[in-house]
Amino acid sequence: MLIELSSALVLLFQPATQGVDVAYQSMAQGHDQRAIEQIEANAELETDDPARLINLGIAHARKGDEGRARQYFQAAIESRERYDLETAEGAWVDSRTLARRAMKMLDRGELSAQRMTLR
């Protein structure tokens, strides 16, 4: 769900088959702390779920905690789970590809300044 579409990247991740809430609405509204709390409280999400990890990474990056964001993105890259995630734009992208792109954007300082969310 991370797709580099010029500099306006919006991430919204949702597992293609599960339809589990990964705090899309909270993140889309810019409520990053609320999104973190919702994701962490969601018992339906496995701890290594790529959508969970990527959204947590984005939320922490937007809050300015790049170290924690990096940990979540790396965990998504290394997760035993792998599937396509839907972006806010409606594209489906492999979760590891999205996590790698998020990491690169974090390295370039783009995540903290952008509104990124996963559906």
Tens of pLDDT, residues 37-95: 999 999 988 999 999 999 999 999 999 999 999 999 999 999 998 989 887 778 889 99
Q: How many helices (H) and strands (E) does the chain have?
A: 5, 2
| Residue pLDDT, tens place only, 3-39 | 332 222 345 454 444 556 788 888 888 899 999 999 9
CA distance 12 to 32: 13
Class of domain 24-107 as given by CATH: mainly alpha
- Sketch the domain layout of the chain as residue ranges: 24-107
- Dihedral sign for Cα 59, 63, 68, 73, please: positive
- Provide, for the chain, the percentages of residues in helix, strand and coil under a 3-state DSSP scheme, each rounded to the nearest 5: 45, 5, 50
Task: Quote the pTM value.
Answer: 0.80
